[in-house]
Structure 1
Amino acid sequence: MRGGGKVYLGIDIGTTNCKLGLVDKDGRELEPMTFKTPVIHPRKGWAEYDCNTLWDLISDSVKKITSYYNCQDTLNGIAISSQGESGLFVDENGIPLMNAIAWYDDRTKSMIDNLESKIDSDEIREITGIETNYIHSLFKMQWIKVNSPSIYKQAHKWHCLSDFLVRKMTGKIIMDYSLASRTMLFDIRNKEWSSKLLDVAELDIKLLPKPVPSGEIIDSVKSSVKKEWGIKGNVSVVSGGFDHMVGCYGLGANFENQAVISIGTTESLCLYSNSYKDAYYPGFSQGRHVFNDSYYILGGMPSGGETIEWAIKTILNYENVGTVGFDSLKEAIRGSDIGSNGVIFLPHLKGCVTPNVDSTSRGMFVGLSIQTTSNDLIRSITEGLCFEFRLIIDQFEGGNLESFLAIGGGVKNQEWMQIKADVLNKKVITLEINDAVIFGAAKLVADALNEPIQLDENVKRKVYYPENESVIKYEEIYRKTYTRLYELNREILRRK
Structure 2
Amino acid sequence: MSATFLGIDVGTTRTKAVLLAPDGVALLASAAAPTPQGEVGGVAVHSPQAIRDVVVDTARRALGEAGPEARAALGGIAVTSVGEEAVLLDAAARPVGDVPTWFSGVGQDAARELAAELDRRAPVTGLRHPEYTVHTLAWWSRARPVQARDAATLTDLGSWLLSSLGPGDLVMDHSHASRTGLFDAPTRSWRPEGLDVVGMGGLSLPRLVPSGTVVGELGAQVAEQFGVAPGVPLVSGGHDHFCGALAAGARSPGDLFISAGTSEAHLLVTDSLDPAATTGSEVGCFVTDGLFYLHAALPSGALYLSWTRLLGLDPATPLDDLLGDEPVGSGGVRGEISADRRLSLTDVPLDVRAATLLRALMETTAVASRDLTRHLSRTAGRAVVQRLLAGRPTESPAWREIRGAIGEGVAAFVDAQEATALGAAHLAVRAVTGTLPPPVPRRRPDPDVLPARREQYRLAFG
The alignment's TM-score, normalised by the length of structure 1, stands at 0.81
CA distance in 2, matches of 1:377, 1:105: 32
Whole-angstrom CA distance in 2 between matches of 1:430 and 1:306? 21
Superposition pairs of residues 101-120 of structure 1, within 5 angstroms? 101-120=100-119
Contact 2:141 2:148 in 1 (8 A): yes
- State the one-letter code of the partner of 1:51: P
> What residue is the counterpart of 1:34 in the other structure?
32
Q: CA deviation at 1:431?
A: 2.9
Match of 1:333 among 293, 315, 323: 323
Aligned to 1:407: 390
CA pair 145-305 structure 1, distance change in 2 beyond 3 A? same
Shift of 1:309: 5.0
Amino acid at match of 2:91: E
Does the Cα contact within 8 Å between 1:425 and 1:466 map onto a contact in 2? no
Task: Say yes or no: does 1:296 pair with 2:293.
Answer: yes
Identity %: 22
Match for residue 418 of structure 1 among 367, 392, 401? 401
Pairwise CA distance, 1:17: 2.8
State the match for 1:145 in structure 2: 141
Tell me which amino acid in the other structure corresponds to 2:361.
Answer: I
**Which TM-score applies when normalising by structure 2?**
0.87
Segment drifting more, 424-433 vs 338-347: 338-347
Separation (CA, whole Å) in 2 of partners of 1:389 and 1:457: 23
* CA–CA distance in structure 2, aligned partners of residues 137 and 176 of structure 1: 14
Match of residue 7, structure 2, among 3, 6, 10: 10
Cα distance in 1, alignment partners of residues 116 and 428 from structure 2: 43
Give the match for residue 159 of structure 1: 155
Q: Deviations over 1:393-417 (max 9, x none)?
A: 2213123325312234443333222
Distance 1:107 1:294, change over 3 A: same
Please report how far the alpha carbon of residue 186 of structure 1 lies from its aligned counterpart in structure 2 after TM superposition: 0.7
What is the rounded CA distance, in whole Å, between the counterparts of 1:449 and 1:271 in structure 2? 27
Matches within 5 A, 1:428-443: 428-443=411-426
Q: Structure 1 residues 427, 478: CA separation in 2 closer, same or farther (over 3 Å shift)?
A: same
Tell me the residue number matched to 1:393.
373
Residues 369 and 19 of structure 1, relative CA distance in 2, 3 Å threshold: farther
Partner of residue 74, structure 2: 75
Q: In structure 2, do the counterparts of structure 1 residues 80 and 313 end up closer, same or farther at CA, with 3 Å as the change threshold?
A: farther
CA contact (8 A) 1:51 1:99 kept: yes
Structure 1 residues 392 and 216: alpha-carbon distance in aligned structure 2, compared to 1, 3 A threshold: same
2:446 counterpart of 1:450: no
Give the conservation status (yes or no) of the 8 Å contact 1:422–1:470.
no
Q: Is the 8 A contact 2:386 2:409 kept in 1?
A: yes
The equivalent residue for 2:361 is: 381
Match of 1:250 in 2: 247
- Asked if 1:185 is matched to 2:185, the reply is no
**Cα contact 1:79–1:441 (8 A) shared by 2:** yes
Change (3 A) 1:297 1:59: same
Tell me which moved more, 421-430 or 303-312. Answer: 303-312
2:211 paired residue among 211, 214, 234 = 214
Classify the secondary structure of the residue corresponding to 2:237: strand
Decide which moves more: 234-243 or 395-404: 395-404
Correspondent of 2:342 among 341, 362, 385: 362
Alignment correspondent of 1:49: 46
Q: Which residue of the partner structure matches residue 234 of structure 2?
A: 237
CA-CA distance at 1:55 after TM superposition: 1.7
Would the aligned equivalents of 1:159 and 1:209 in 2 still touch at CA under 8 Å? yes
Shift of 1:384: 2.9
CA distance in 1: counterparts of 2:309 and 2:12, whole angstroms: 18
- Aligned-residue offset at 1:448: 0.9
Residues of 1 paired with 2:82 and 2:89: CA distance? 19
CA gap of 1:236–1:464, structure 2 versus 1, over 3 A, is: same
Post-superposition Cα deviations, 1:61-83, rounded to whole Å, max 9, x if no partner, equal: 11111111113322221111222
* Consecutive unaligned residues in structure 1, runs of 5 or more: 353-359, 480-496
Q: Distance in 2 between matches of 1:462 and 1:476?
A: 25
Cα distance in 1 between the residues matched to 2:397 and 2:278: 30
Gaps of 5+ in 2: none
How many Å separate the matches in 1 of 2:17 and 2:325? 36
Any conservation in 1 of the 2:253–2:271 contact (CA below 8 Å)?
A: yes
After TM superposition, the structure 1 stretch with the greater mean CA deviation from structure 2, 374-383 or 180-189, is 374-383
1:408–1:435 CA contact under 8 A, matched in 2: no
After superposition, the C-alpha distances for 1:458-495 in whole angstroms (9 at most, x for unaligned) are 7646224666555555566657xxxxxxxxxxxxxxxx
Matches of 2:183 and 2:127, distance apart in 1: 13
Contact 1:175-1:212 within 8 A present in 2 as well: yes
Q: Which one is further off, 441-450 or 466-475?
A: 466-475
Counterpart residue identity of residue 430, structure 1: F
Aligned length: 455
Task: Please give the alpha-carbon distance, in whole angstroms, between the structure 2 residues aligned to 1:361 and 1:183.
Answer: 24
Identify if the C-alpha distance between structure 1 residues 43 and 206 changes in structure 2 by more than 3 Å, giving closer, same or farther: closer
Distance 1:117 1:260, change over 3 A: closer
Cα distance 1:81–1:328, how it changes in 2: closer, same or farther (>3 A)?
Answer: same
- Matched residue SS, 1:19: strand
**Contact 1:158–1:207 under 8 Å retained in 2:** yes
Contact 1:421-1:465 within 8 A present in 2 as well? no
The answer as to whether partners of 1:85 and 1:136 remain within 8 angstroms in 2 is yes
Change over 3 Å in CA distance of 1:317–1:38 after alignment to 2: farther
Q: 2:124·2:183 contact (CA, 8 Å) conserved in 1?
A: yes
Shift of the alpha carbon at 1:158?
A: 2.3
